[in-house]
Amino acid sequence: MNLIRELWQSLVEALVGLGAIVRFLLRVIAQSPRALLRLDLIAQQIYNSGALSLVIIMLSGLFVGMVLGLQGFQLLQRFGSEEALGTAATIGLVKELGPVVTALLFAGRAGTALASELGLMRATDQLSAMEMMAVDPIRRVVVPRFLGGVIAMPLLAAIFSVIGIYGAQLVGVQLMGVDSGSFWSQMRASVGLSDINEGIVKSCIFGVACSLIAVYEGYYATPTAEGVGRATTRTVVTSAVVVLFLDYLITAAFL
Amino acid sequence: MRKSHTLNLGTGTFVLLGFAALFFLTTQTTSRGISFASPPHYDLTAKFDNIGDLKVGAPVSMSGVEMGRVTKIDFDSKEYKAVVTMRLDARYDKIPTDSDAAIYTQGLLGGKFIGLTAGGAETYLKGGDQIDFTQSAFVLENLIGQVLANFTKSTAPSDSGKTDAPPAAEAKPSEKTK
């Protein structure tokens, strides 16, 4: 009986959390047009969550692509069709690995930074101070961070995919001896614009999800040192689960 | 001032890289590619009964050396044949006029490509010429169909006759007719 009550309790809590985050999203969207007038703030946040994530994204992309080249080569060699490596690597990267791995890295690198920054602002009463000065903290602090993340994420995913394709090319063509011409021509013949579109749509949606979770957790963090730490952890955990769940939904919708 | 300079530089570099990557993905990895340089080349055509799944962009090679690519695939509605236009590098301009073109498969399940075999003529193919001797793509279904037909022909009598000698005798003529 106790167990059922606890389950019911946690279900209600989950629903309350979902409702709160959706209402927060609506508030952020409502403030977005006016925040767009301060483009310098958004540019600053694109720098923080995009340009500063560049190194980790490029390195990860290179290694993911190289592993894909190696594994893909080993697998395709069994069927005697190593030439399809370019197609396999590109489709894998553009449609799945690019958006998903970038989103996970983005949550770890930029999402945690956003959440802890906002959480610390909450803990040191900076957000309340802004409210006292009649500055809406959502418009001044939250929306630029949210929009910066939303803009940065698709660009990061595209960079990840391109570096990954070159990583696969490096291993497949340079090390394993797949013909360079077949690698690129088969890729061009079988990768369509719809595959690229799917990747772009995915990365945009993941960008909204990751940025929203990060600013939400940070904005409503318990104003203590422990609360900020917990908000950062929850950002990564929730983002990872939500990204993988959304990934399944979007893939199913595109098929 | 100094800080805002590095900030602008970083943001600018990042956004530029991002859009360059998007541009690369949409133009270089798909068939909508824009090729920037076009070296000297000439076009040849060939008519095939069946091109299988030959695609635009497939390589054209002779003795295993890539000489060009397929640029266009059309259908000739008078002869009911596929007309394949291929663009060959101008370096390879010594292809005899009686050469033949065949469609082969890369690997077991790989894509199709056109293999040229040199003829013995003294005159060479020029831009716009047609290769007259062609060999269609190898279509797996047709081959399986033939094998199945032969198989049923040779096994059918053994079911009714219940002896081992007649099927062997039956099988031989069918091999000869091939």
CB-CB neighbors (< 8 A) of B24 in chain A: 162
Percent of chain A past pLDDT 90, that is, above it, reads: 55
Angle between helices A98-106 and A143-169 (to 10 degrees): 130
**Residue whose tokens read 């939303």:** A150
Please state, as a whole number, how many other Cβ atoms lie within 10 Å of the Cβ of residue A107.
27
pLDDT digits over A164-181, tens only? 999 999 999 888 888 887
DSSP letter, residue B29: S
Interface check B53 vs A, CB under 8 A: no
Which candidate from B11, B33, B107 shows the least CB-CB separation from A51? B11
Task: Check residue A117 and give its pLDDT.
Answer: 92
Report chain A's mean pLDDT, rounded to a whole number. 90
3-state SS, residue B99:
coil
pLDDT digits over A139-148, tens only? 888 999 999 9
* Yes or no, beta carbons of B7 and A47 under 8 Å apart: yes
* A to B CB pairs, distance under 8 Å: 112
Q: Write the Ramachandran bin of B162: left for phi over 0, alpha for psi from -120 to 50, otherwise beta.
A: left
Nearest residue in B to A153, CA atom: B18
Task: Check residue B158 and give its pLDDT.
Answer: 52
Task: Check residue B174 and give its pLDDT.
Answer: 45
Higher pLDDT, residue A62 or A192? A62
Task: Check residue B171 and give its pLDDT.
Answer: 46
* Yes or no, beta carbons of A84 and B110 under 8 Å apart: yes
Nearest to A14 by CA among A238, A244, A249: A238
Task: Check residue B154 and give its pLDDT.
Answer: 75
By CB atoms closer than 10 A (0-12, 13-18, 19+), residue A176 is: middle
Please state, as a whole number, how many other Cβ atoms lie within 10 Å of the Cβ of residue A196.
22
Angle between helices A98-106 and A54-78 (to 10 degrees): 150
* A243 pLDDT more than 90: yes
* Yes or no, beta carbons of A47 and B14 under 8 Å apart: yes
Nearest to B18 by CA among A133, A28, A211, A203: A203
Q: How confident is the model at residue A121 (pLDDT cuts 50, 70, 90)?
A: very high
Cβ neighbors of B110 (< 8 A, separation 6 or more) are: A80, A81, A83, A84, A182, A186
Distance CA A148, CA A155 (A): 11
Task: Check residue B55 and give its pLDDT.
Answer: 81
Nearest to B48 by CA among B58, B36, B63, B38: B58
> What mean pLDDT is predicted for residues A98-125?
93
> What mean pLDDT is predicted for residues A237-245?
93
> What mean pLDDT is predicted for residues A49-61?
91
Task: Check residue A92 and give its pLDDT.
Answer: 92
Q: Which of A41, A155, A160, A201 to mutate to test the interface with B (most CBs of B within 10 A)?
A: A155
DSSP letter, residue B49: S
Task: Check residue B38 and give its pLDDT.
Answer: 63
* A237 pLDDT more than 50: yes
Task: Check residue A107 and give its pLDDT.
Answer: 93
ipTM of the complex: 0.73
> What mean pLDDT is predicted for residues A117-128?
91
Q: How confident is the model at residue A78 (pLDDT cuts 50, 70, 90)?
A: confident
Q: What is the pLDDT along chain B (178 residues), one digit of tens a residue?
A: 566 778 778 888 888 888 888 888 887 777 654 555 567 888 889 998 888 888 887 888 888 888 888 888 899 899 898 999 988 888 888 888 888 899 888 766 667 888 888 888 888 888 888 888 888 877 777 788 888 888 887 776 555 444 444 444 444 444 444 4
* A193 pLDDT more than 80: yes
Task: Check residue B28 and give its pLDDT.
Answer: 76
> What mean pLDDT is predicted for residues A106-131?
91
Higher pLDDT, residue A58 or B106? A58
Distance CA A36, CA A19 (A): 26
pLDDT digits over A16-52, tens only? 888 988 899 998 898 888 888 888 888 888 998 888 8
Three-state SS letters, chain A: CHHHHHHHHHHHHHHHHHHHHHHHHHHHHHHHHHHCCCHHHHHHHHHHHCHHHHHHHHHHHHHHHHHHHHHHHHHHHHCCCHHHHHHHHHHHHHHHHHHHHHHHHHHHHHHHHHHHHHHHHHHCCHHHHHHHCCCCHHHHHHHHHHHHHHHHHHHHHHHHHHHHHHHHHHHHHHHCCCCHHHHHHHHHHHCCHHHHHHHHHHHHHHHHHHHHHHHHHHHCCCCCHHHHHHHHHHHHHHHHHHHHHHHHHHHHHHC
Range 92-151 of B in CB contact (< 8 A) with A: 106-111
pTM above 0.90, yes or no: no
* Yes or no, beta carbons of A46 and B14 under 8 Å apart: yes
> What mean pLDDT is predicted for residues A216-245?
92
Nearest residue in A to B70, CA atom: A185
Task: Check residue B168 and give its pLDDT.
Answer: 47
Cβ neighbors of A204 (< 8 A, separation 6 or more) are: A150, A153, A154
